[in-house]
Structure 1
Amino acid sequence: MAKTGIKSYSLSEMKDKYIGETGTEERDAYEYELRMDVLGKMIKAVRIERNLTQEQLGELVGVKKAQISKLESSANSATIATIIKVFTALKAEINFNVKLEDQSFQMS
């Protein structure tokens, strides 16, 4: 097979080049935003699976529909307490995984 001369790059290499290497302020901010976006999408998916409206979930959690909407679009404005309340109201189990340089901790 003939080589085309086109180099391919991994996603990690592209992030390093265009966002910043792991550990830089820019990369950390990007990774944080990405995690919060995924968290918001998870909340929305579980809410829909449970056949709840944003207003109904808000009532279960004790917040307004607008706050559920904000959570689903990006969870970065929420406190961990609110996120726990949301998943508790959705009857969903959440786990926390904390990694330190040479250790790993997990809580359920």
Structure 2
Amino acid sequence: MAAKEMKSYSLTEMKDKYIGKVGTTERDEYEYELRMDILGRMIKSARQERNLTQEQLGRLVGVQKSQISKLESSTNSATIDTIMKVFKALKAEIHFNVTLEDQYLKLI
């Protein structure tokens, strides 16, 4: 008896099958949460590199410690303004890249 060949799937195929195709509400929410998770980890890492507590960073930004905690754990959706203030307080550069059809826009 021949061994049964196992089919492998790409990450995109798995997300399409179990989360939803690109453009569906479920997939959009998943991708947004994933980006917020990565952003939260970057904020935490930068804060720790600067040897700041969440409370100290909150004071620099003008928000409560709990807001910083929520940003780092991705439990809330922060405004771009708040995120910009956090990275400014961390003395970190932010680069936004946007592609609109054939145009590439970059905000530094």
TM-score normalized with structure 1 length: 0.92
The answer to whether the 8 A contact 2:36-2:77 is kept is no
**Does 2:84 correspond to 1:84?**
yes
Match of 1:42 in 2: 42
Once the two structures are aligned, what percentage of the paired residues are identical? 74
Q: CA 1:75/1:93 → structure 2, altered by over 3 Å: closer, same or farther?
A: farther
Instruction: Give unpaired runs (5+ residues) of structure 2.
Output: none
Rounded to whole Å, the distance in 2 between the matches of 1:54 and 1:99 is: 34
Shift of the 90–75 alpha-carbon distance from structure 1 to 2, 3 Å rule, reads farther
Deviation at 1:98, TM superposition (A): 1.3
Give the match for residue 97 of structure 1. Answer: 97
Superposition deviation, residue 76 in structure 1: 4.2
Question: Per-residue CA shift, 1:3-38, capped at 9, x if unaligned?
Answer: 741011111110011111111111111101100111
Counterpart CA distance in 2 for 1:4 and 1:54 is: 53
Looking at structure 2, the residues matched to 43 and 74 of structure 1 have their Cα atoms a distance apart, in angstroms, of: 10
Q: Indicate conservation of the 8 Å contact 1:97/1:105, yes or no.
A: yes
In structure 1, stretches of 5+ residues that fail to align are none
Structure 1: 4+ residue segments shifted above 3 A: none
- RMSD of equivalent CA atoms: 1.5
